[in-house]
A = this chain, B = another copy of it.
Amino acid sequence: MKIALAQQNYIVGDFEYNADKIIKAIGLAKAKGACLVVFSELSVCGYPPHDLLCRNVFIQKCLVAVEQVAKHCKGIAAVVGAPAINPEPTGKPLFNSAYLLSDGKIQSVHHKALLSTYDVFDEDRYFEANHNFTMANLNGKQIAITICGDLCDNKPTTAGMRRNKVSPMAELKKQNPDLVINIAASPFSYDIDSFKLAAFGEYAKGLGIPIISVNQVGANTDLIFNGASMALNANGALAKRLNSFVEDIQIVDTEIDSFINAENQFEPSDYIAQIHDALVLGVRDYFQKSGFTKATLGLSGGLDSAVTLVLAQKALGNQNLRVLLLPSHFSSQHSIDDAVALADNLNIKYDIVNIKDSFDIINQGLNPVFGDLPSDLTEENIQARVRGVMLMALSNKLGYLLLNTSNKSEAAVGYGTLYGDMCGALAVLGDVYKTDVFKLAYYINREVEVIPINTIVKPPSAELRPEQKDSDSLPDYPILDGILRKYIENQKSANEIIALGFDAEVVTKIIRLVNISEHKRFQSPPTLRVSSKAFGLGRRMPLVARL
């Protein structure tokens, strides 16, 4: 059976764009002799549609688009993803469904059983879970059509080591499928590929039949989908893997020797390289899909803004970037030099706007209010906020979207100024710990010194007061990030982290800083997600609470 895997990049709610893309791929697959072409989960509307699913108009457009796509399925079948209306008067109004289209019409509809309601996912908000498992029939073959996590039901769910109540695969197995099709919209995190491969391989081998899984590619706001769609043979070996982070269409023939006897050849790439590619795609799609082309940021001479700028340059091109250097009383000459060197290396236009005078006059204006109270964090924050005003002015006047350059370590402990360096349309590094930002810098410099080495090796500093260093008030980054990863990604308690060997006093301090910063993160820009637990919709903490 010749099957095309169509790994595409959709725009949520742009039915014309998505349907056009799907129809073109159907034509291409047909021309190449495929009898079936498979698209990803909710492909006609794009994933995740969030509360657009509550709008009747949106659902109607989904159904019209499916009908429109079906008309092009002549001489070839397709599986597309779209919501379906729950005909029962009780329960949620929709299903998350896969439509088998052929002979110009809908042949069968298959609903998702294991709805994702954890982390960034809210599927129980919209969808009813399927309890009625039926096989699709195509050219005399019995096909088990599954949606995303329905195929991973042999793995513990993310809520600890718990298992699902229903096993869609066990239900489908009873009906003796010849093939499993899986349509997915499974967001990238740097550890997910090996998890999925293991889960799929186990099933393919256990069932003794091939599995074809097509995943969405592209970024939608904070979520980045890496594609990496897979075809596994009946031995559970990965016979074909589509490219990561790009659109890709490839055809497999499940009946030829090279597929049947393929051996597993998957070598996962280094996680830093994956994060790099994910972030470039994340920035590019945020802009392209929003109709923007140009970006700005404040280039400080430090590591975070340097790495952000390189990623943005790869995503948007140097001609679409323009940056501001915003030195203050406390900026060192090396910071300015390093920033200029980077801008020159990348051939990016920059302006230097000294914020001293603005800073001074604002303080002067506040003098009648503050009298002779001593300088404190307030003045540090004023500097950061004046920079925010300058950058947003450039953004407003010239149409450059501001990129936020904060990293996950500082976002975690609240070392950032709301409405200052926390400004921005999109946080590029907000899910990347500082230790990984260093690795990204070395990865970027792996062939040529793009980022001045001084930017990487000098001690990190916010330069908001004389001689300030990050290490004045935080532990070294490897220790900080170690604690944060346990607390945030692994959801360990303070005692559990201390039991792993971290200093009790440091752990207590860091966890306290994380807890008292929830209100800051609440107003953060959307953050490109590359880990299994990013700040944002996937982590819902009460602001007013004893944590």
B-binding residues in A (CB < 8 A):
11-15, 17, 46, 48-52, 54-57, 88-93, 117-118, 122, 124-125, 159-160, 162-165, 219-221, 285-286, 289-290, 324, 351, 353-355, 357-358, 361-362, 364-366, 368-370, 373, 376-378, 381-382, 385-386, 388-390, 392-394, 396-398, 418-419, 423, 425, 491, 493, 495, 519, 522-526, 537, 539-547
Residues of B within 8 A of A423 (CB): 418-419
CB distance from A498 to the nearest CB of B (A): 13
Residues of B within 8 A of A90 (CB): 162-165
A93 & B51 in contact (Cβ 8 Å cutoff): no
A369 & B394 in contact (Cβ 8 Å cutoff): yes
Q: Which of A48, A364, A397 has the most CB of B within 10 A?
A: A397
A89 (CB) vs chain B CBs: closest residue: B163
A47 (CB) vs chain B CBs: closest residue: B542
CB distance from A484 to the nearest CB of B (A): 15
Q: Given A542-B52, A545-B12, A393–B286 Cβ distance below 8 Å?
A: no
10 pairs of residues in contact across A and B, judged by CB atoms under 8 Å: A52-B541, A289-B544, A289-B545, A353-B365, A370-B393, A373-B397, A382-B389, A392-B418, A523-B524, A523-B525
CB distance from A220 to the nearest CB of B (A): 6
CB-CB nearest 9 A-B residue pairs: A12-B545, A124-B124, A378-B396, A419-B419, A13-B546, A14-B546, A378-B397, A50-B540, A13-B545
B54 & A491 in contact (Cβ 8 Å cutoff): yes
The listed residue (B393, B522, B544) touching A382 by CB distance below 8 A is: B393
The listed residue (B385, B523, B524, B544) touching A12 by CB distance below 8 A is: B544
Residues of B within 8 A of A493 (CB): 55-57
Q: Report how far A495 CA is from B384 CA in the complex, Å.
A: 45
A546 & B382 in contact (Cβ 8 Å cutoff): no
Q: Given A89-B163, A525-B523, A381–B361 Cβ distance below 8 Å?
A: no
Residues of B within 8 A of A50 (CB): 540-542
Q: Report how far A397 CA is from B51 CA in the complex, Å.
A: 40
B122 & A540 in contact (Cβ 8 Å cutoff): yes
CB distance from A337 to the nearest CB of B (A): 20
A89 & B162 in contact (Cβ 8 Å cutoff): yes
Copy tally for this chain in the complex stands at: 2
Q: Given A52-B541, A125-B118, A539-B51, A91–B164 Cβ distance below 8 Å?
A: yes
CB distance from A68 to the nearest CB of B (A): 16
Q: Report how far A290 CA is from B516 CA in the complex, Å.
A: 10
Residues of B within 8 A of A544 (CB): 11-12, 219-221, 285-286, 289-290
Residues of B within 8 A of A543 (CB): 221, 290, 526
B117 & A546 in contact (Cβ 8 Å cutoff): no
B382 & A353 in contact (Cβ 8 Å cutoff): no
A546 & B355 in contact (Cβ 8 Å cutoff): no
Residues of B within 8 A of A353 (CB): 365-366, 368-369
A159 (CB) vs chain B CBs: closest residue: B93
B49 & A545 in contact (Cβ 8 Å cutoff): yes
Q: Report how far A54 CA is from B491 CA in the complex, Å.
A: 8
Q: Which of A93, A221, A289, A393 has the most CB of B within 10 A?
A: A393
A369 & B324 in contact (Cβ 8 Å cutoff): yes
Q: Report how far A369 CA is from B354 CA in the complex, Å.
A: 12
CB distance from A15 to the nearest CB of B (A): 8
Q: Report how far A50 CA is from B518 CA in the complex, Å.
A: 13
CB distance from A544 to the nearest CB of B (A): 5
Q: Given A519-B425, A541-B52, A393–B378 Cβ distance below 8 Å?
A: yes
A91 (CB) vs chain B CBs: closest residue: B165
B393 & A546 in contact (Cβ 8 Å cutoff): no
B381 & A393 in contact (Cβ 8 Å cutoff): yes
Residues of B within 8 A of A537 (CB): 540
B362 & A358 in contact (Cβ 8 Å cutoff): yes
Residues of B within 8 A of A369 (CB): 324, 351, 353, 394
CB distance from A494 to the nearest CB of B (A): 8
A547 & B52 in contact (Cβ 8 Å cutoff): yes
Residues of B within 8 A of A220 (CB): 542, 544-545
